């Protein structure tokens, strides 16, 4: 099997923790061939299929972790699988890439996660379909609505819809200190939509990442625990990752959401749960494979490649 990874530049990978790297390593271990490109390498021209300028690579197991074997132009439908693993932001360029990938699908490419499903499930807003599992949440451009939500709930979290890694997340307590300034910053005086959620105090126990592969939950989550005075548990914001077995509520959430989204073409998703409340559904490039595997011995990359191979049969 020949797999194309559409991802960030290989030179930027932090292979000690990178989930895409762990997928590549397991795929190569099974004898599959690897290629990689960035979204900028995708091209369509009338009368031709969607092509990409790709780097055919071999993993070396050394500090220089990959060897480039060739750089060629190749139609996407010529690969056995195309894995879309580009990190957010979920911006216009990301959406344009999904349109190119969807055209490649029409030409016979097998794209995972499916491009339409990526567009239909933006990571902050996808929770609206499963509101019974969320903390009280508001999505709005209206500063007055944010003030009313704060007056009702007193302790709130505000965040942009296109952030990642904890970027742009603010907590405002009962005193409302800087609420107006924060809203102006996040919604650009009414030009941009933001999300507001009631603060979940269980964040001190971690923001749990629950991985769901082909509708089945990995049996361990990674609780990303805020450090020091931080309110954010994201690893990119300095959180400490601690693997732990799923709770009964974690399983209920995963069993309610996982099969539904799997049927829509999302082979891999990451559910973010604080306490018993769902806060986000990650679909673009869910992470934490290596941390869970190293701490528990459960081989998450193997589970994923098993599911990928089954999907392509």
130 in any annotated domain: no
User: Is 124 annotated as catalytic?
Assistant: yes
Spot the catalytic one: 110, 124, 198, 208: 124
Which helix (H) or strand (E) is 304 found in, with range?
helix 300-312
Decide if 172 contacts 158 (C-beta within 8 A).
yes
CA dihedral 28→31→33→37, nearest 10 degrees, is: -20
Spot the catalytic one: 25, 159, 198, 208: 159
User: Is 282 annotated as catalytic?
Assistant: yes
- 207 and 108 part of one domain: no
Question: CATH no. for residue 15?
Answer: 3.40.50.20
User: Is 208 annotated as catalytic?
Assistant: no
User: Is 53 annotated as catalytic?
Assistant: no
User: Is 272 annotated as catalytic?
Assistant: yes
Look up the pTM and report it: 0.93
Spot the catalytic one: 105, 123, 272, 291: 272
Structural domain that includes position 40: 2-113
124 in any annotated domain: no
Spot the catalytic one: 18, 26, 224, 250: 224
The total number of residues shown for the chain amounts to 313
- 66 and 163 part of one domain: no
Question: CATH no. for residue 176?
Answer: 3.30.1490.20
Cα 249 to Cα 204: distance, rounded to the nearest angstrom = 18
Strand, coil or helix: 226? coil
- Average pLDDT per consecutive 10 residues, the chain (313 residues; last block may be shorter): 98 97 98 98 98 98 96 98 93 95 98 97 95 97 96 96 81 95 91 95 94 98 84 66 97 98 98 96 96 98 98 93
CA dihedral 246→252→255→261, nearest 10 degrees, is: -100
| Whole-number pLDDT of residue 40 | 97
Q: How far is CA 137 from the centre of its chain?
A: 20
25 in any annotated domain: yes
User: Is 147 annotated as catalytic?
Assistant: no
Q: How far is CA 14 from the centre of its chain?
A: 16
DSSP track, 160-185: ETT--TTTT-EEE-TT-TTHHHHHHH
75 in any annotated domain: yes
User: Is 276 annotated as catalytic?
Assistant: no
Spot the catalytic one: 232, 234, 250, 291: 232
| Whole-number pLDDT of residue 227 | 80
User: Is 159 annotated as catalytic?
Assistant: yes
What is the total count of domains within the chain? 3
Question: CATH no. for residue 258?
Answer: 3.30.470.20
Spot the catalytic one: 25, 86, 198, 209: 209
| Whole-number pLDDT of residue 118 | 97
Query: What is the bridge-based pairing of β-strands 111-112 and 81-84?
Result: parallel
Spot the catalytic one: 105, 250, 280, 291: 280
287 in any annotated domain: yes
Number of H helices, E strands in the chain: 8, 17
Residue 273's nearest CA partner among 253, 289, 290 is 253
| Whole-number pLDDT of residue 297 | 98
Q: What share of the chain is helix, strand, coil (3-state, %, to 5)?
A: 35, 30, 35
- 209 and 178 part of one domain: no
- 181 and 270 part of one domain: no
- 77 and 164 part of one domain: no
| Whole-number pLDDT of residue 91 | 87
């Amino acid at each position: 099997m020949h797999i194309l990874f559409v991802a960030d530049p290989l030179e930027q990978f932090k292979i000690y923790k990178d989930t895409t790297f762990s997928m590549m390593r397991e795929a190569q271990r099974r004898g599959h061939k690897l290629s990689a490109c960035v979204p900028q390498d995708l091209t369509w021209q009338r009368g031709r299929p969607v092509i990409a300028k790709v780097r055919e690579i071999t993993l070396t197991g050394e500090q220089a972790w990959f060897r480039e074997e060739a750089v060629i132009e190749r139609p996407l439908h010529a690969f056995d699988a195309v894995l879309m693993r580009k990190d957010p932001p979920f911006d216009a360029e990301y959406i344009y890439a999904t349109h190119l990938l969807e055209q490649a699908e029409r030409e016979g490419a097998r794209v995972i996660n499916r491009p339409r499903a990526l567009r239909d499930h933006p990571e902050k807003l996808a929770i609206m379909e499963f509101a019974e599992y969320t903390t009280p949440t508001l999505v709005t451009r209206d500063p007055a609505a944010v003030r009313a939500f704060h007056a009702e709930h007193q302790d709130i979290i505000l965040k942009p819809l296109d952030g990642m890694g904890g970027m742009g997340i603010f907590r405002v307590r009962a005193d409302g200190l800087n609420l107006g300034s924060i809203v102006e910053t996040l919604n650009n005086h009414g030009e941009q939509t933001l999300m507001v959620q009631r603060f979940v105090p269980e964040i001190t126990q971690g923001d749990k990442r629950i991985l769901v592969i082909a509708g089945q939950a990995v049996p361990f989550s990674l609780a990303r625990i805020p450090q020091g005075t931080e309110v954010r548990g994201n690893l990119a914001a300095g959180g400490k990752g601690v693997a732990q077995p799923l709770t009964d509520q974690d399983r209920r959430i995963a069993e309610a959401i996982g099969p539904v989204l799997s049927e829509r073409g999302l082979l891999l998703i990451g559910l973010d749960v604080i306490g018993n409340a769902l806060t986000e559904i990650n679909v673009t490039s869910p992470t934490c494979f290596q941390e869970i595997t190293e701490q528990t011995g459960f081989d998450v990359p193997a589970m994923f490649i098993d599911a990928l191979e089954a999907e392509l049969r």
